[in-house]
Structure 1
Amino acid sequence: MRYLITGGGTGGHIYPAMAIAMEIRNRHEDGEILYVGTKEGLESELVPREGLDFRTIRVKGMPRKIGRDMFLAIKELVLGINDARRIIKQYKPDIVIGTGGYVCGPVVYVASGRGIPTLIHEQNAFPGMTNKILSRSVDKILITFEESRKYFKYSKKILLTGNPIRKSILEVDKDKAYMDLGINRNIPFILSFGGSGGQKRLNQAMLYVIEKNVSNKNMQIMHITGSRFYNEFMDEIEARDIELGRNIKVLPYFYDMPQGLNIADLVITSAGAITLAEVSAVGIPSILVPKGYTAENHQEYNAKAFEDEGAAHVILEKDLTGEGLNKAIEEIIHDSERLANMAENSRKMGRSDAAERIVDIVDDLMK
């Protein structure tokens, strides 16, 4: 069988696509997998590293305002559709799987027009424009959040699967994690990060939190600034004459996130789809600060879905202050009953078997 997977632009679309590809590879050793992305997208770096065949099409995101950029994007879209036709004609896939981002539009559109089984996966509570358009013609619409169901018109096509995550999140030795990270299991541990690239507003608020808790022996904090913000953050630490003790760690990037998530008592983070999938798979209480500049403001919808289920406390970026964040931390971390309830609600939202569920649906479509 030949599987064509497409999705790109950001990690939120790419990592689920690769998780699906890995599950297909594990389940069907004789299956052939082709990933289609763009030359400029992050997928052009990440996908070949996993040993997957990779081809590209020409396509750009569609601007919201009429102008020169829109006409250029339309031209690229036409070229992208022709590229997609050529690839599909040559590869002859048995099924096409799209995980969002503008790159998957031409590929899934052409495949559905040729009668090839197609499905899309939506990672966010508020669907992206590409998936909304493609939902009209695909065979199945797979969703991560129950809340996103109402934004699609074709309810009979929709299946709730969750968002695929890396297996390493579920395979952590906690005793080793405490030792490796130098964390005391008897003292509350807070892990703070603003997504893979960092979050400036969260960094600003965490400066206050760190300053207020630098001598607090009843709290451990690990804050990841994001590589581009690290020097600026540490300069401010020095300017405020803050001497970091053993209870507080500040890092530019954190390569051992699976370990950190598995031993954290509370996570402070933005509301990207992948992060929330991993947080809920482990079952961690969270304070969510959704980034206010994402497409369709999808992070705020994601965060609200977690808050509505009692799994998270949400602070919007525009309302975020160091004082307010510190108060929220103190109210949650020292309330064991609230922590336990949030953890249980987070776990209920998790779908650790999302990749398996998705490939089950893929297999059914190909029968």
Structure 2
Amino acid sequence: MKYLITGGGTGGHIYPALAIAKEIKRKDKNAEILYVGTEKGLESELVPKEGFQFRTIRVKGMPRKINKESLIAIKELIHGINDAKKIIKDFRPNVVIGTGGYVCGPVVYMAKKKKIPALIHEQNAFPGITNKILSRYVDKVAVTFDEAKKYFKYPDRVLNTGNPIRKEILEINKEEAYKVLDIDKNIPFVLSFGGSGGQKTLNDAMYYFIKESMGKGDIQIIHVTGKRFYDEFIDRLKKDNINLNKNIRVFPYLYQIPEAINIATLVVTSSGAITLAEISAVGVPSILIPKSYTAENHQEFNARAFENKGASILVLEKDIKENTLNDIIYSVIQDKERLAQMASKSKKLGKIDASERIVELINTIVK
């Protein structure tokens, strides 16, 4: 069978698409998979590395206001529809799967014009504009949050499958993780990171928390700044004569995030869909600081969904003061009963078989 998968722009759209592609291949080694993205998008780097056939179309994001860029975007959209039409004609897929981003628009729309079964996956609690439009045409809509259902015109087509995650997050040997990261299992361990690119507000808040925690032996901290913020963060520590030690470490990037999540007492992070899927798959309590500048402010909607279920504490960027995190973190890690309750509720939100659920849903729409 032939599967055409499309999704791009950010890792939040690309990684779920790749997880679905891998699950399709796991279940059907003879499956033919074509991934359609854009030439300049992150998908053009990630997809070929995973060994999947990759083709591109021309498309640009539509500005919120009508201006010169709007005309360019409309012109590119017309090109994109023609590109998608040609790719679909050449590949002749049995089904098309979209995971969000502007690239999905022309591809999924054209598939439905050709009467090809199609499914989209929405990662966030507040759907992106492309998926909201496409939901009117596709056969099924897979979502990660129940809160997203009300934004789609045809709720009978919507099913909560969860968000696909990398399998290694579930295969971590915790005893080995403690050794690899040099973490003492008897002392609370706080892991903080602002998504793959870092987050300035979270960095500022964690700076003060680290400053206040120096010299204390009752806490362990690993803070990941993001590569673009690392030098500035370290220079700031040096300026204030703060010398990090074994218990408090700062990194620009951490390849052992799966290990760290699995053994963390508490995670302080932004609220991207992939991060939330991973911490809930493991069942980790969290403090969420949604990035206020994301499209449609979707991270705040994600964070509120977790807060409403009792899995997380939500702190908005605008509400963060110098000592905001100090008080919250210490109040949580010193309350073992509260930690246990948050961990349990986090685990209940996790869907470790999201990829399998989505592939099963795909099979139901293919005649």
- Paired residue for 2:208? 208
- Paired residue for 1:351? 351
- Paired residue for 1:291? 291
- Paired residue for 1:101? 101
Matches within 5 A, 1:120-269: 120-269=120-269
Matches within 5 A, 1:7-46: 7-46=7-46
Distance 1:315 1:61 in 2: 30
> Is 1:270 paired with 2:270?
yes
Query: How far off is 1:157 after superposition?
Result: 0.3
Aligned 8 A contact 1:206 1:322 in 2: no
Query: How far off is 1:359 after superposition?
Result: 0.4
Name the aligned partner's letter for residue 52 of structure 2: L
Post-superposition CA distance 1:157-181 (Å, at most 9, x none): 0111000000000000000000000
Structure 1 segments (4+ residues) deviating >6 Å:
none
- Paired residue for 2:342? 342
Name the aligned partner's letter for residue 330 of structure 1: Y
- Paired residue for 1:81? 81
Distance 2:126 2:6 in 1: 20
Q: How many residues align?
A: 367
Distance 1:295 1:38 in 2: 19
Aligned 8 A contact 1:207 1:322 in 2: no
Name the aligned partner's letter for residue 99 of structure 1: T
Query: How far off is 1:365 after superposition?
Result: 1.5
Q: State the secondary structure of the residue aligned to 2:196.
A: coil
Q: State the secondary structure of the residue aligned to 2:323.
A: helix
TM-score (norm 1): 0.99
Post-superposition CA distance 1:35-65 (Å, at most 9, x none): 0000010000000000000000000000011
- Paired residue for 1:117? 117
Query: How far off is 1:321 after superposition?
Result: 2.2
Matches within 5 A, 1:55-74: 55-74=55-74
Query: How far off is 1:263 after superposition?
Result: 0.2
Distance 2:238 2:207 in 1: 11
Name the aligned partner's letter for residue 250 of structure 1: V
Distance 2:9 2:135 in 1: 19
Query: How far off is 1:363 after superposition?
Result: 1.5
Query: How far off is 1:362 after superposition?
Result: 1.0
- CA RMSD in angstroms comes to 0.6
Name the aligned partner's letter for residue 166 of structure 1: R
Aligned 8 A contact 1:4 1:93 in 2: yes
In structure 1, runs of 5+ residues without a counterpart are none
TM-score (norm 2): 0.99
Distance 1:38 1:153 in 2: 28
Identity of paired residues, percent? 63
> Is 1:48 paired with 2:32?
no
Name the aligned partner's letter for residue 194 of structure 2: G
Distance 2:155 2:290 in 1: 28
Q: State the secondary structure of the residue aligned to 1:33.
A: strand
Distance 2:127 2:320 in 1: 26
In structure 2, runs of 5+ residues without a counterpart are none
Query: How far off is 1:68 after superposition?
Result: 0.4
- Paired residue for 1:4? 4
Query: How far off is 1:364 after superposition?
Result: 1.7
Q: State the secondary structure of the residue aligned to 1:217.
A: coil
Distance 2:324 2:82 in 1: 52
Post-superposition CA distance 1:14-45 (Å, at most 9, x none): 00000000000111000100000000100000
Name the aligned partner's letter for residue 187 of structure 2: I
Distance 2:39 2:343 in 1: 41
- Paired residue for 2:330? 330
Q: State the secondary structure of the residue aligned to 1:322.
A: coil
Query: How far off is 1:322 after superposition?
Result: 3.2
Distance 1:29 1:179 in 2: 37
Query: How far off is 1:6 after superposition?
Result: 0.1
Query: How far off is 1:100 after superposition?
Result: 0.3
